[in-house]
Structure 1
């Protein structure tokens, strides 16, 4: 765990208790650029004031959810399906989505010789982790193409949950036929390993808009420390605004933050391609979440259940109203 913080003074919680730290998770992906910018530009630090910020880097959503559920982190940038999963499994008690972060930036890439869905029988396809957003998208898409998949046992197409960096190596070595990944890994496989895009996930959604990353907060922490959550949210909003206002500078700052997190930056052509396929917005696209619930059920990675109450956009909309901006809809599945 890496630490970034200010002084050791504290903020007061709803119950009068002091909180000295907020613990935030994120992934070293282009789809988590608002987190990268918020950290590298000091925007979270500015918004949190005297409350320290500690950060933890994850590879995929299920791992971040495990940490959130265990109380090891208080909030995380995460894909929508793990957020849905923890909410349903906990009966709505675990966490709340308080903002969107990123739209787009995920695709199925394949080796030469695979020209369509009919060529995938017997193939081995990677996803970042069982039950993460891209894993669910892959499994539900394959089901729609008539393939049976299983999380244990025989499948028409073998799905191999694999850490993203290892996926690149395995694909280059010819041990994988493809992968459904977020950016920048889609662009890395295309440019560095000669993969071809078989399915751009944007093509599966109305107007090409689908949520890739949201900001999720542990419900207990939000209840006990609403002021700190508001400050974290303010830093997040400022990060998204920074990305909008500094498009020309964004690539170099994102790359520096990726290098800080992983020890290695990205080639310019990879990063440029990745950024062409994502949009940064505080809108979580709540209207897409019922479809995501259906996808998770079809994929067999999630049990059936209600997501009523998953969103709490009241603080987000209060901050947007303060800036004279339009409110964001919770699509009837939460407070706004």
Structure 2
């Protein structure tokens, strides 16, 4: 009997050891690090790209090995939207309303990760004729961003000040902001709508150029009595929905690193300006003056949804096509869940 008990105990110990080995192997498998994935990121020349320069520099200097990042800086939104639609870029900085247009066009194919730029649009002129939005009546305005935030923001402010954008002003649309700067240089009485940092670029070429109107302030004025006032937003960061579902860790990694990059740029203007010049976004001299005026942010979560949904509602009321025909559903706003 004692011999049988000893045999049974030995068998139990053997089973226990085998089970322990199995658990150990499973634990090792479960803690195995995921392989880095390719993350293609596209930013537009201007504040959206400026906010990413610290992250781009870290990648180029081999300080990032969590994911394999590849950055592209585009001069025009026309280069960005096809890249998203065709899956050639995974994460992209786009005008706020374009994010909604893409969401509707791609049937939920993109989600917004963060608001990255607040209002940066200004009316500038060589003279001293524009003191209010109403003073733009009869003027010719050089502008870039047709079909995106600049056009809809300008139209909304003009309309709220009693002007018909199609009849009371002449808007000469350029494909890039730099073309507006060039047009101003050739027109002594010229007026333009420009974002930072292009305002600074233009003023460096022509010190007499005056900031006549801050469109963020003009927007706030006409929104004062609104039931749910919306802020003027310039840009957001979007991710392809399919990429986000397949690579949540990569999205989380990007957001963490992008926020750190934005903080670095805002807190270390001199160093950031050198990086902006290094990446040929604008010159370091321009960036040093412009960065504090660019309203570069990284707003995520509930605050992102509150600000962006309010802004898109204003555009939708003005022209549903500005947001792609209808307001996006709640799944447009990335939650990480």
Instruction: Name the counterpart of 2:58.
Output: 41
Cα distance change on mapping 1:311 and 1:176 into 2, 3 Å: farther
Cα distance in structure 2, aligned partners of 1:256 and 1:213: 21
Cα distance in structure 2, aligned partners of 1:65 and 1:176: 35
Equivalent of 2:106 in 82, 90, 93: 90
Equivalent of 2:292 in 275, 280, 283: 275
Normalised by the length of structure 2, the TM-score is 0.73
1:302 Cα deviation from its structure 2 partner: 4.2
The answer to which structure has the higher helix fraction is 2
RMSD (Å), alpha carbons: 3.2
Q: Contact between 1:95 and 1:217, CA under 8 Å: does it hold in 2?
A: yes
**Which one is further off, 196-205 or 67-76?**
196-205
Cα distance in structure 2, aligned partners of 1:155 and 1:112: 20
1:26 Cα deviation from its structure 2 partner: 0.5
Instruction: Name the counterpart of 1:304.
Output: 325
Residues matched between the structures, number: 290
Q: Deviations over 1:6-36 (max 9, x none)?
A: xxxxxxxxxxx97741110012213433212
1:294 and 2:320 are equivalent in the alignment: no
Instruction: Name the counterpart of 2:120.
Output: 105
Cα distance in structure 2, aligned partners of 1:312 and 1:141: 27
Q: Contact between 2:142 and 2:192, CA under 8 Å: does it hold in 1?
A: yes
Cα distance in structure 2, aligned partners of 1:73 and 1:113: 44
Cα distance change on mapping 1:107 and 1:282 into 2, 3 Å: same
Instruction: Name the counterpart of 2:205.
Output: 192
> What runs of 5+ residues in structure 1 fail to find an aligned partner?
1-16, 316-334
Q: Contact between 1:27 and 1:59, CA under 8 Å: does it hold in 2?
A: yes
1:102 Cα deviation from its structure 2 partner: 2.9
Q: Contact between 1:143 and 1:298, CA under 8 Å: does it hold in 2?
A: no
Residues 15-54 of structure 1: pairs in structure 2 closer than 5 A:
20-42=37-59, 46=63, 49=66, 51-54=67-70
1:233 Cα deviation from its structure 2 partner: 1.6
SS in 1 for 2:52: helix
Q: Deviations over 1:163-205 (max 9, x none)?
A: 1111111111018832222210122223433332232133123
Cα distance change on mapping 1:58 and 1:128 into 2, 3 Å: farther
Q: Contact between 2:113 and 2:333, CA under 8 Å: does it hold in 1?
A: yes
1:111 Cα deviation from its structure 2 partner: 3.2
**Which one is further off, 28-37 or 288-297?**
288-297
Cα distance change on mapping 1:192 and 1:304 into 2, 3 Å: same
Cα distance in structure 1, aligned partners of 2:64 and 2:317: 38
> What runs of 5+ residues in structure 2 fail to find an aligned partner?
1-33
1:44 Cα deviation from its structure 2 partner: 10
Q: Contact between 2:119 and 2:232, CA under 8 Å: does it hold in 1?
A: yes
Cα distance in structure 2, aligned partners of 1:239 and 1:232: 10
Q: Rg bigger for which structure?
A: 2
Q: Contact between 1:135 and 1:180, CA under 8 Å: does it hold in 2?
A: no
**Which one is further off, 69-78 or 139-148?**
139-148
